[in-house]
Structure 1
């Protein structure tokens, strides 16, 4: 999954934050600074499972989009293998 695809999922679940432009360099910006709390991340996790077949345990505890993408793409690779 690319950052752009991930941002689309975030927007669909939790909307756009007031503090940051999600089209910018947000890979290492903490979700909390982006304005997303653990409830928003749980919703994103559920959407990833529903729409993309990716089951990512512990998603709500992740710190940043980079960490999320590493977890998502790692889970996808394990499912293919």
Structure 2
């Protein structure tokens, strides 16, 4: 099974914002709200698209505010999607 780590998420986050120097992900971010990390709803959608592209899964847009509210929630959500893919 493919694992989705914090390093993987950080890479997708940086790709989504074009490696913006104002985005600091080199600190403890797991429980920080995405908005406080500099990711508005459009940026979170872009993170979801990067995850889809890299892992070949579908991340539905309808619940991103809940499922991707923090990096910790995002990790758990994507791990769940990846395990569903393996089960299918």
The 8 Å contact of residues 9 and 47 in structure 1, kept in 2 or not, is answered as yes
Number of aligned positions between the proteins: 80
2:83 matched residue in structure 1: 77
**Alignment CA distance shift 1:42-1:59 (3 Å):** farther
Flag as ranges the 4+ runs of structure 1 deviating above 6 A.
Answer: none
CA drift at 1:17 = 6.1
Between 1 and 2, higher relative CO (CA 8 Å, sep ≥ 6) is seen in 2
Structure 2 unaligned blocks of 5 or more: none
Q: 1:7-36: per-residue Cα shift (whole Å, max 9, x none)?
A: 011101113463x63122100000010010
Q: Give distance in 2, aligned partners of 1:52 and 1:27.
A: 21
Moved more, 28-37 or 56-65: 56-65
Structure 1 unaligned blocks of 5 or more: none
The 8 Å contact of residues 45 and 59 in structure 1, kept in 2 or not, is answered as no
TM-score for both structures, normalised by structure 1: 0.86
2:72 matched residue in structure 1: 66
